[in-house]
Amino acid sequence: MSRGPDPQSTGKFITLEGGEGAGKSTQIRLLADALKSAGRNPVITREPGGAPAAEIIRSLLVEGAVDRWLPMTEALLHFAARLEHVHATIVPALDAGRWVVSDRFSDSTVAYQGYGHDLGQTDMVRLHSLVLGDFQPDLTIILDIPVAEGLARAGRREANEGAGEDRYERMGQDFHQRLRDGFLDVARRNPERCAVVDATQSPEEVHQTILSLVERRLGKGPS
């Protein structure tokens, strides 16, 4: 599967990644507001999910018992949802010249299943190639936070919002440390696409860093 959009299209695909409690939702909202203020009409989406069929699969992945799935089953479910997401939502928006901002994409599967569940990054990258070919984001922003701090933030969020989509948060501390290490390794392996941002800063500081990255890497983002 190729990138898809017309070469003359101004559409860009940005993903935000990171462990639990890194603040992706807040930063996506702030980035979306900045893009709108700059005269763009961004498509804001998420994974797993982002398309009708993918949202059905989402509930299978983010709810229920921690040991609900074998690790490879879990990875395959993520890629099944991702294929629907790309075809139904992301590529049509890019083809129309719109910017797409997604809460997670394939790097999450590399980190969560490849590193967190010890399946290995090589097989997860091969799965991506099998399902999506060379389709990749234009820019991936990885919000990095120490595990204990991230889980504490996530726990406060669950206490305020109620239990539900917390299956991954309930996985052990060792899992989350492997997850963090995995995201940082993804960034090291893909420096032309990925940028790591210190998520322990204030939300406004993180936002300004992201805006600078978008402007520097993509050139036509919000000023």
Q: How many domains does the chain have?
A: 1
Is residue 5, in this structure, part of any structural domain at all? no
The whole domain housing 83 covers: 13-218
Is residue 195, in this structure, part of any structural domain at all? yes
Model pLDDT for residues 158-209, shown as the tens digit of each residue = 666 655 788 999 999 999 999 999 999 999 999 999 999 999 999 999 999 9
Model pLDDT for residues 19-69, shown as the tens digit of each residue = 999 999 999 999 999 999 998 889 999 999 999 999 999 999 999 999 999
Is residue 193, in this structure, part of any structural domain at all? yes
pLDDT of 149 higher than 50: yes
Is residue 3, in this structure, part of any structural domain at all? no
Report pTM. Answer: 0.92
pLDDT of 77 higher than 80: yes
Contacts 24+ apart (CB under 8 A), 115-118: 115/178, 115/179, 115/181, 115/182, 115/185, 116/171, 116/175, 116/176, 116/178, 116/179, 116/182, 117/71, 117/74, 117/75, 117/175, 118/71, 118/178
pLDDT over 90, % of the chain: 85
The pLDDT value recorded for residue 10 is 78
pLDDT of 7 higher than 50: no
CATH number of the CATH domain containing 130: 3.40.50.300
Is residue 213, in this structure, part of any structural domain at all? yes
Between vectors from CA 128 to CA 124 and to CA 132, what angle results, nearest 5°?
170
Q: Mean pLDDT, to the nearest integer, of 141-147?
A: 97
Is residue 125, in this structure, part of any structural domain at all? yes
Is residue 6, in this structure, part of any structural domain at all? no
Is residue 8, in this structure, part of any structural domain at all? no
